[in-house]
Structures are given as C-alpha cells and as structure tokens.
Structure 1
C-alpha cells in the first residue's frame, strides 16, 4: 500500500543509531480512499500554460510519472495511483481544468468510466415493466450516460476502459439483481428502445415534411388517441420546420409514444410546454407504463416529475467528474429527499441548505414605489390579437406571466422591451429594459468569453464575478465555443448576459428551459439579488409552477384562444392569479405537508373535487 507523503515520511524515518522504525502506523489507522483525477479537455490549454501542472507536481519532482503527456492530444495524463492528492496542480492550473477528488471507499466499483481522467459513473437504476422511473439531479451528473447504457448504445466497462469486459462479465457483475436479466436480453438484441431527445428545436434539421406525414407514418393503433390527448390535431397539416418550440415538443412526444418498443426514454419532455400541455404529456407517458412498458424520464420540473413518475433515483456527485445513483425511492419521498439535500439511508449530504417554499408570496412595494405604469394595450396581427389590461409595475418585485402557449405572453414582453409597438395604449413612463428572448441562437462562432466581452457590459467587474459569474457557473464554460454549448449552458449564458446589462426592468422569457433544479434555484436567487441591489424589477415568463411559486411576488394571467386572441390581466397577488389560471385549465394543486412544495392533485380525486367545489385551485387556505 502506498501512503501519502506525510505518512511515508513518518514511517520511513529512522534513528541514526538504530535500525528499527521510530514510528509505526497500525493498519487499522489507515483510511482507504478512492481517488479520481478529472481533466476538462475543453478548458485545458497546455500551449498557453506550458504544463504548469507538471512543473509544480511534487511527484514529478521526485522523478515519478505522476503527470505525463498524451502523445496524441498533447494533454496531461494524471496517474491516480501515483497522485498524492496534494491539490497543487488544481490550484496552479490557470484554466481550472483539473479536479482531484477523494471518494469514499464505498464507491470503489464504478459502472462505467469514459477514460483516463474522465467522468466516472457509480451505480445504475433498475428498469421495471409497468413503471415510470424518474431521474433527478444536476446536469452533467451522468443521467445521459445511464440512458446510453440501458439503451445498448454504450456498453458499461465497469471502470476498466483499457480492457473493457465482455457481456458475460457484465451480466455476472449484476447477478442477483433485476439488471441481470435486463442486460442478458440487451446483449442478445431482444430489447428495443425509443428515445425522445432533449433538444427538440433541432428536429427540423433532420426531419422534413408535415406533422401528419411523420405521425401517420408510424404503424400504431393509438395514433388518434395520442393526437387528441396532446391536443395537436390543429397542427397536423403544418410543416415541421414552421412549428414553435412547444409544438415541436408535443410532436416529439407523440412520435416517441406511438413507436413500439420495450424501453422508452424521455429527456426533458416538458420544456417549452405550458401547464396544460405538461399535464397532457404526463398522461401520454403514464399510458405507456400502464400498458406494461418500461419508461425512464429525465425531468427538472418537479411538479411534472411528481405527476408522471412512480419512483425516482437521485443523482449526486460532481458534475463533469463523477455521479452516484442513489437508492430507488417512491416519487413523493424521493423529491422531498432531494429538496432537503440529505440522503438518510446513504448518510450523504449533497446540498448545504434545504430548498424552502413560502406558503404566502412576499408583499409588493408600498404605494409610491412605482417603476412603470401602462394603459390598456392592444396589438393586432393578421391572425392574432392581444389585449392587455391596465397595470402597474413596482420597484424591487418579480412579476411572472403564465398561460397557454400562443396566447401573447412573448408579444407583451416585446412591447415592454420596445421590440414591438402597440396599436393602442402606451407605457406611461419610459424605462430601460434588458430582454432575454425565448428562443436562443448558438450560431456565434467565438468562445463564451469572447461572447461575454462583446455582449455583457459589466463583464470583468467584481460585481459581475460575484453576482453573475459564480452563481451561473460561467467559469467552467468560458473556453467553450458558443456553438458547442448544451441547452442548459446556452440558457445560463443568455440569462447571465441579460442580467449583466443595466436596466430598470429585466424581461426574461422562459429562463428555466433546460436548466436543472439546482440551476433554477440559483437563477431565482440571482434574479432576486440583482433587482434588489440595483433597485429594479423583473418580469418572467415561465411554465414551471414550482419555480413560479418560489420566485414570484405577483403574477399576470394570459387567457383566450391560442393563436387567435389573447387577453392579459393586470399584475395581481400570486394566489389569486393562480386560482384564475388553474380554474380555466381545470387542474388543482395542493401543498406537500412536509416541504410545502406545490403538488398536482390526481384528476377526480377527493382533494381535486373538494378544491374545485371551493374554487381553491392552487391550494386550500388552511394548508
């Protein structure tokens, strides 16, 4: 066994006059750790730093091959067997590309590792017929790796990336578990898989034609049922290239659900969907499990995840470095455990603080604390008209706007931002607005840092570093090309740029799309700090009920006929706005007794009927 230098010095130290060892360390006192070293290849730039990690490594100075150079990539290779874990290379690296992590002994046997100094996954969820299994955890923690393994796209190497095991060894590794039979069938090609991708906005790039051509071309006796449930009959004749984000999402869910398979995987199925559409998606996904299929869902909207899943697995660790799959839990217990940030059975705390939900929204500003006022507004297009009631925006408040897709929320945001001008009415007081659009472009050819230099006025300032750079974890993507960012990374960048501008009102259109739960919480806190620190306000368009409940002071309800006419109410107290909106949708929510988070009531249940009779669609006042 190789000891760290501090122990080796003590063990090997000898008295000049005696041959015995002065110090003896009992074996029982030696704590065994599994150490992994991670190198971010995107951030590592040896040409600029001239291998400072090698220069300062104590092991290299002792003529050990602790850090060597890969002949092909010219990147450093860190030996985890020789690394003492001193942390000097992590501190000296100017690009923060190195992470050295000590893992508990319990994490000795990984399911998969991508390569030397690359991501490592510990554990894998069991797949059972007739259940929807949800995965919840940060982005970059291994959820996609899990699905690639279960779909047969990636064979688990059990940590041995140099000499990967064959199917017999893999099956033997999982003997005695439900996964043994699953991998036996998978190895023989007896399991078919359907995958609904995350980035549905890219579908038009490789799928052409009309919606009806896509869906009716799938041999299924459930076509009409799925089309009606997802309410997409009206867009069947439209070209896929002309669909909105929400419409693309619904079509993608339909196309996946109509195909015949054993295992269905849905990656973030509620992004860009409004509340009603999210519940429709839940019905379709649940119907697959009820038909005896195995379903796995990655979802960051906790209300939707709660409604669609039977069980959940929490994933924790360090994004981009390693991920650990927790034990299976019932959906309510699992989500509440995630909110608390502590896994009691595993004795692991993965978040410092519990997420807290307030039963009553904060009070709005006092009379006189007015940021802006607008008269009744009207904007007409050839096929759509929007009418907005007169309203007031107060200083230091967050107003959320919610309603069906295609009802005019984005149009109203553009009117406030000055991008669109109303046909009737006006904003009484001219205010400076920073606007983040709903759909984001990744066509920029430079890096994230270059993009920030060009678009974020406060980039480089101490305020930007403390209030935006750190909360949004932008340091880890600074050297990445904007065109290569994931959906979540692109969203974080867009929200950060919008908040970096000096403004009276920050208008953010769907800022939570593709963000994980932790990032949504981070975004909510960052928005609150910035508007309070700059004496400004924010208007947020979003569909995540839990995020809305967490961040809102007041809310606006948009109603009408999507794509034809829309009506926006004046900003009002959150609970009143939610009751009005959910009353139209026909959905009721309750508060979880332990965490106070909003939960969807099962349609037709006792609580659902009781709340509808009382007109309390959001939650009962006694809760």
Structure 2
C-alpha cells in the first residue's frame, strides 16, 4: 500500500514548473498519469494506486514537499486523514479509568491529532475526508474495542471532557482581559484555590497579553483542571516551565486520575515517567503517517522507545538504542580556554550575582535554575548583549549565541546560512540532514513552526566558527529524538573543535546527557538570583535538587533518570545519604 503525501505549505509549483509531474516515469510512459495538476487549485495530486514508489518525484522536488512511503496492506483503514495526499493516522490510544495515560512520539507523528479526536474536537473520518462518516459508522468501525463504548459516550454527550491544547501562544489572541477574568468564566468560586495550587496567584490581576510563555502554560493548565470532567487531556503541559514548575504541574495533573482518567502528550521523559501509569508510543514518518502501539507499562514503554524496538509489535523505530551514563563525569582535565570574573547586575527590581569561573576546552557547562532567576541575563552578559554593573567579561574569543526567543525575517531558510562566519562544509556534512534543515531549506524562515524555528536556530549557532557556544533552552518545541540529536551535535561540535559551550536547559534528561559540569542558580524568582561557579555534576545536581526537594533514581536498563515519588523508600534513603541524583556513583 502506497502513502503519498504533499506538504502544500512547502509546494511551490510556480517556481519549479511541476517537476513532480514532468519527471514521473508513469506520466512519461503515456498511460494514466500518477501525478496530475488539479483544476480546482492548480496543485499537484499523486494517485496512490498508480504511483510505483520509485521516489523520483521525492528527489526532484526542490522544496522537500513530497513523501512516499510503502506500508503493508495489513495496516488497514486510517482512523483519520486530513485530505488527498495528506497526513493520516492509523490506530488510536485510549483512556483508562483511574489512570494517567502518557503518549510519546516524534513531532508530526499524530499525537495531537489523536488527542483532538479523543477530546471530541475532531470526529475521525476513517480516511473518508471527502465523505465523512457519521458517528454510527465510526462506532461500528471500533466495534469490539475499548473505543466503541468511549465513542458511544462521546456521541451521546455522556462524557465530560477537558482539553489543554498545545498552542498556548494563541490564548492572548483569543481572550483580552486579566487572568482572573478568564478563569472566572470557567468557575468563579475556584479561581483563588486553583491559582494558588498551580502557582499563578501572584498574576491573577495581570493582563493575559502580558504573560510569559511559562505563565501562559500554567494558566492553560489551571483552566483545564478547573473544569469538572470525566477525562482530562493535556497536550505538552511542561513546555516553557522550569523543573520545579513541571513537577508541581505533574503532581496536580496526576491527582485528577481519580475523577475518571487523564491522557498526556509529553516530550520530557522524566516528567512523562513521573506522571504516567502507562504509555502509548506513536511512530511512523513525521508529516506522512502515524501508527499507535499497544498500551505498555510506563517503564517498559519508555525503555522500548529508547531501545528503538517495540517488542509486541515487532517493529524497529530507531537505528541505535539510547543509553545514559549512570556515573557523573570525573574531574575535567584540559587547558583553560575562558575565564570570567564575579559579576553583578541590577535590573531594577531584580538583582543578579554571579560567582566567577573558568572553563576548559572541550567542556560543556549546563545551567540549571527556576524561571525568572537570571539564567538568560547571565548568558546575555557572556554574549556581550548586557553590560554588568560590577565585573567585566573580557575576551577576544568568538561567541556564537542562540537566544531563548527566536524570530527570523521573511527570507528562505537557505539565505540565513549565507551569513558571514558560517562553516558551510561542516553544516552540509554534520548538521543539515541531522537537524532536518534540508526538508525546510526553501521555506520562509518567518513562517516556520516552533520546532522548525528551534532547529534552524541551533543549526546556525553550531555551524558558526566560534570558540564559545551559548545555547539558551535548545530543547524547546523539540521532541525526544530531536533533543537527543541536538545534544549529540552540541557535544560533537565542542569536543571535535576543542571549544566550549554553555547550555541553559530545563529538561533534566538533556542536561544530564550533554553536560560536563553545572552552574546552579538559586534565589527568589523575579527578585534576586545567585549563580554558582561551575560545579562537578554530582555536586551541582545535589545542590539543585536538594533545594527543590526532589530525588532521582536510575533505570537499570537504559540508565535514564527517573523521579522518585515523594516519601518513597528510595526518596527517603537518598535524601538521608545526600545523593539526590547519581545513586551508586
């Protein structure tokens, strides 16, 4: 069975003259064409029954708009397809009573589509995008499965659903007013209590349009949990949040399971593990098709995802397994490449104090701390964008900086890499395909999605010829695989070039994977912050997690960090011994 997908956001026939149609061997043979131009919108259409899967159109398309995939006939009818030559999803996860069900997978594989279907926003069309089925046909399709009874309740309005969307940036465009006014629309009697639980009581009277990304995320979580529902859906609830906020939100979300059930899409493996009782894995070719695994225990599911082999499905989804170091790196040896003195900065209402430090060649310094504690201010002082009030960063070293917030002009992505200082041979050989920049090469940089924009920004930063690489939250909007790819690239660039890096990050798994030492920020968010000198990983993790009151253990199979439940035997033992992270080290 052939799946042919055209991304019409990338397709530009006015520039290529329909190369897909003119180079198709089926078209050139003179028979019925496999690629035709629609008279309705002048867009190319690929006939999946006539397509022979040669891949010529995929290679010839200058905009990377075409994907051709061969699937076995056994996959059957898609649950949902967005249109002709469009993404389709095979199978669905399902909620379980009294449980938190996690959903993990690549961006563009169909996780959000599945959640939108289950939350009643989208009715599954069973692949009939031009003749959608009614509810009775949908229910008959799922006859004999857990989803039959579920969709019957959805059809009859007998299940109350609450949905926290992924796109929280849209909230200010949809609502004008204060946080209190928005939440009061849902349930005015719960506003104060829920705001206190979620951690937004101090911004209740702030205008929604003035909120940061983290504040918008907490507002969206608060709005979702205020509703009286049987099933709660959360699509990427940890984005923009720091470690403390992520785990507090996770505790609140987990407490909802007793009301009926919860489903969560999440890319932070530590949070997903902490939240979930079990998981579904969504796999496939991003943007083309997605398939849903069977239900797995949370430990087994995440481990199979990292191993790259779904045993029950007999499916390989990753070429090499992912493993984590259980022991912290030892004392770092090497030539000191960069030193900075103690720094102080008063931003009017917020005061930052930084201990001086020295960094050696080939070393990556992870930076951990709560939101609003001064991490970005510190990095911007290193980058020369902010002048300290006391102390001075003096260096002749070249600096490449990826900021936290990214915007690009309305030019093709390819043009961004024509700037002076880009090591094009290195970019072409080591970065372009690994970060999938080749797939968006001719797209407008101003119209990229959050994940695409992040990958381009990281690629630009790592492809510049520099001595110091500063990356502020490089995992934002990226899925698990992309985060691991970025981590490997950062390590490779710094090690092979004998340079150094600073990485600000909230994903504990990524910090553990990429860092050699840590700078830990403490203080009171929004008022004062203090940054330590670079610390050994063991000391840094213990310092950071002790302040948060959180301990981690290690999975014996993959070595990945797992959050201990508060008050559990492991949690108590590790706190008593002072080992909050590297147990057994």
Q: Greater shift after overlay, 250-259 or 473-482?
A: 473-482
1:295 aligns with 2:262: yes
Cα distance, 1:365 vs structure 2 = 4.5
Q: 1:526 aligns to what SS in structure 2?
A: helix
1:445 aligns with 2:410: yes
Residue in 1 that maps onto 2:98: 130
Q: 1:386 aligns to what SS in structure 2?
A: strand
What CA distance in whole angstroms lies between the structure 1 residues aligned with 2:420 and 2:98?
A: 49
**What are the within-5 Å matches in structure 2 for residues 161-560 of structure 1?**
161-219=129-187, 222-292=190-260, 294-363=261-330, 365-367=332-334, 369-441=335-407, 444-453=409-418, 457-458=421-422, 461-560=424-523
1:47 aligns with 2:11: no
Is contact 1:467-1:530 (8 Å) kept? Answer: no
Cα distance, 1:221 vs structure 2 = 5.5
Q: Greater shift after overlay, 298-307 or 610-619?
A: 610-619
Cα distance, 1:66 vs structure 2 = 1.9
1:589 aligns with 2:557: no
Q: 1:218 aligns to what SS in structure 2?
A: helix
**What are the within-5 Å matches in structure 2 for residues 606-617 of structure 1?**
606-617=569-580
1:381-426 per-residue CA deviation (whole Å, 9 max, x = no partner) reads 2211111112111111111110111111111111101111111112
Cα distance, 1:457 vs structure 2 = 4.3
Cα distance, 1:467 vs structure 2 = 2.0
Residue in 2 that maps onto 1:37: 4
Distance 1:218 1:114, change over 3 A: closer
1:57 aligns with 2:20: no
Is contact 2:180-2:191 (8 Å) kept? Answer: no
1:100 aligns with 2:68: yes
Q: 1:410 aligns to what SS in structure 2?
A: helix
1:219-241 per-residue CA deviation (whole Å, 9 max, x = no partner) reads 16654443233222222233323
Cα distance, 1:561 vs structure 2 = 1.2
Distance 1:169 1:199, change over 3 A: closer
Cα distance, 1:217 vs structure 2 = 4.1
What CA distance in whole angstroms lies between the structure 2 residues aligned with 1:82 and 1:54?
A: 13
Unmatched 5+ stretches in structure 1: 1-33
Distance 1:531 1:374, change over 3 A: same
1:224-259 per-residue CA deviation (whole Å, 9 max, x = no partner) reads 443233222222233323322222221221122112
Distance 1:385 1:343, change over 3 A: same
What CA distance in whole angstroms lies between the structure 1 residues aligned with 2:227 and 2:443?
A: 36
Cα distance, 1:482 vs structure 2 = 3.0
1:68-100 per-residue CA deviation (whole Å, 9 max, x = no partner) reads 211122222111112222223323333333222
Is contact 1:402-1:558 (8 Å) kept? Answer: yes
CA root-mean-square deviation: 1.9
Distance 1:123 1:361, change over 3 A: same
What CA distance in whole angstroms lies between the structure 2 residues aligned with 1:532 and 1:608?
A: 35
2:526 aligns with one of 563, 572, 585: 563
1:539-575 per-residue CA deviation (whole Å, 9 max, x = no partner) reads 0111100001111111111001111111111101112
TM-score by length of 2: 0.95
Is contact 1:365-1:395 (8 Å) kept? Answer: no
What CA distance in whole angstroms lies between the structure 1 residues aligned with 2:398 and 2:171?
A: 36
Is contact 1:138-1:319 (8 Å) kept? Answer: yes
Unmatched 5+ stretches in structure 2: none
Cα distance, 1:54 vs structure 2 = 2.4
What CA distance in whole angstroms lies between the structure 2 residues aligned with 1:213 and 1:44?
A: 43
1:107-156 per-residue CA deviation (whole Å, 9 max, x = no partner) reads 12211112221111110011233222111111000112112211222221
What CA distance in whole angstroms lies between the structure 2 residues aligned with 1:422 and 1:241?
A: 30
Which ranges of 4 or more aligned residues in structure 1 deviate by more than 6 Å? Answer: none
What CA distance in whole angstroms lies between the structure 2 residues aligned with 1:570 and 1:285?
A: 36
What CA distance in whole angstroms lies between the structure 1 residues aligned with 2:465 and 2:166?
A: 33
Distance 1:428 1:325, change over 3 A: same
Distance 1:616 1:225, change over 3 A: farther
What CA distance in whole angstroms lies between the structure 2 residues aligned with 1:128 and 1:393?
A: 50
What CA distance in whole angstroms lies between the structure 2 residues aligned with 1:94 and 1:218?
A: 49
What CA distance in whole angstroms lies between the structure 2 residues aligned with 1:456 and 1:521?
A: 28
- For these two proteins, the number of residue pairs brought into alignment is 584
Q: 1:208 aligns to what SS in structure 2?
A: coil
What CA distance in whole angstroms lies between the structure 2 residues aligned with 1:451 and 1:73?
A: 31
Cα distance, 1:618 vs structure 2 = 1.1
What CA distance in whole angstroms lies between the structure 2 residues aligned with 1:202 and 1:168?
A: 34
1:26-50 per-residue CA deviation (whole Å, 9 max, x = no partner) reads xxxxxxxx11112222232323332
What CA distance in whole angstroms lies between the structure 1 residues aligned with 2:72 and 2:489?
A: 33
TM-score by length of 1: 0.90
Larger RCO (alpha carbons 8 Å, 6+ apart): 2
What CA distance in whole angstroms lies between the structure 1 residues aligned with 2:376 and 2:152?
A: 50
Q: 1:313 aligns to what SS in structure 2?
A: strand
